[in-house]
Amino acid sequence: MQRFNGLGVGLHNLWRISPAKTRSISAENFTGEKGKGGMATEGTGAHAARELGQGWKVSPSIRLEARTKFVLAEIEGPGAIQHIWITTHRKHWRQLVLRFFWDDEPLPSVEVPYGDFFCSGWCEFAQINSLPIAVNPHGGMNSYWEMPFRKSARLEIENLSDEDATVYYQIDYVLTEVPDDAAYFHAFWRRSNPLPYKEVHTLVDHIRGQGQYVGTYIAWGVNNSGWWGEGEVKFYIDGDRDFPTICGTGTEDYFGGAWNFDVNGEYRTFSTPYLGLPQVIRPDGLYRSQQRFGMYRWHIQDPIRFEKDLRVTIQALGWRSGGRYLPLQDDIASTVFWYQLEPHAPHPPLPDRDYLEVI
């Protein structure tokens, strides 16, 4: 039997012995070094622990100052990140940006606003019970996307706002051999606000190389009354131009629902291992004038594989008089997740904080 390297751990192989070394980085052990956790004598918990001293939750979090960056983790490989837990106040969820770099690359493979990475783009809590992403009361963000690297991993967070943010986090990883065919994790965010009339929202169009597309999250704000989800999701694979290889039948269909997501005339939220509509934000009759939705679809059992390039789009369609489709001008913010072999094409620049802001 071949020796198990500790990657891709699941119920089917938990019994297998591996030479992999488990490590964890947090504000109580910034380097993840073995036997060096909980040694702080200064930190955000020092005042509370003043009578107890070292080892008693002296440094449970960081203070991320306004308009600054912080390196959450810097790891020498080979190995893989296996779990990220992180939390901060929800007012910061669109004003903090996550960037992940693999193998000393100069440009990030992941560049996504904090909340959107964890399927929480509207800066409001919704319970999410999926395999790669779990969001728990009240704002405990968890990622189980496995992220292998060969030389190094660097995880950064940037605070774009004018307010300091307190951030608690823990990054669990393994030091082990990485197979030759292991690809690198990528994620990208894009917003159309509003989507121009008769145009499609392009989730991603700059993927170059070989890999597999593994997930979609959309924070969708509706600017019309009536149903908004007739639009098709399309995947243009390896040179497809005018017409895609994969064409869905409607927005709610792609995210695993049907018939407007409604039961007895009301939207029904759901959260499953692979897909969900965990968030429906309803108008309040005063300041909340628009309906807003959060949806995810993980291609874990059905990854979309590409060899050269990939483009993904979604239409925004409702209904108008005469049983005709109405192209909508909605607020659509999408996050896409994929694995690919490096090098990757640079991500288009992230917009400024005013365009990121949820209003």
Task: Specify if 1 maps to a domain.
Answer: no
Task: Specify if 194 maps to a domain.
Answer: yes
Confidence at residue 2, expressed as pLDDT on a 0 to 100 scale:
64
Task: Specify if 6 maps to a domain.
Answer: no
pLDDT in tens, the chain (359 residues): 567 899 998 888 999 999 999 999 999 999 999 999 999 999 999 999 999 999 999 999 999 999 999 999 999 999 999 999 999 999 999 999 999 999 999 999 999 999 999 999 999 999 999 999 999 999 999 999 999 999 999 999 999 999 999 999 999 999 999 999 999 999 999 999 999 999 999 999 999 999 999 999 999 999 999 999 999 999 999 999 999 999 999 999 999 999 999 999 999 999 999 999 999 999 998 999 999 999 999 999 999 999 999 999 999 999 999 999 999 999 999 999 999 999 999 999 999 999 999 99
Task: Specify if 26 maps to a domain.
Answer: no
**351-357 contacts: CB < 8 A, separation 24 or more?**
351/191, 353/95, 353/160, 353/161, 355/191, 355/193, 356/94, 356/95, 356/113, 356/160, 356/191, 357/94, 357/95
Task: Specify if 230 maps to a domain.
Answer: yes
DSSP 40-92: -SSSTTTTTTTTT-TTSSS-S-EEE-TT-EEEEEEEESSEEEEEEEEE--GGG
- 200 contacts: CB under 8 Å, gap ≥ 6: 231, 313, 314, 315, 316
Task: Specify if 22 maps to a domain.
Answer: no
Task: Specify if 158 maps to a domain.
Answer: yes
Task: Specify if 40 maps to a domain.
Answer: no
Range of the domain at 73: 61-356
For 220-272, how does the pLDDT look when each residue is reduced to its tens digit (9 = 90+)?
999 999 999 999 999 999 999 999 999 999 999 999 999 999 999 999 999 99
pTM for the model stands at 0.97
Provide the 8-state DSSP code for 29: B
Confidence at residue 37, expressed as pLDDT on a 0 to 100 scale:
98
For 287-312, how does the pLDDT look when each residue is reduced to its tens digit (9 = 90+)?
999 999 999 999 999 999 999 999 99
CA distance 41 to 25: 17
Confidence at residue 4, expressed as pLDDT on a 0 to 100 scale:
86
Domain count, the chain: 1
Domain CATH number, residue 145: 2.60.120.1390
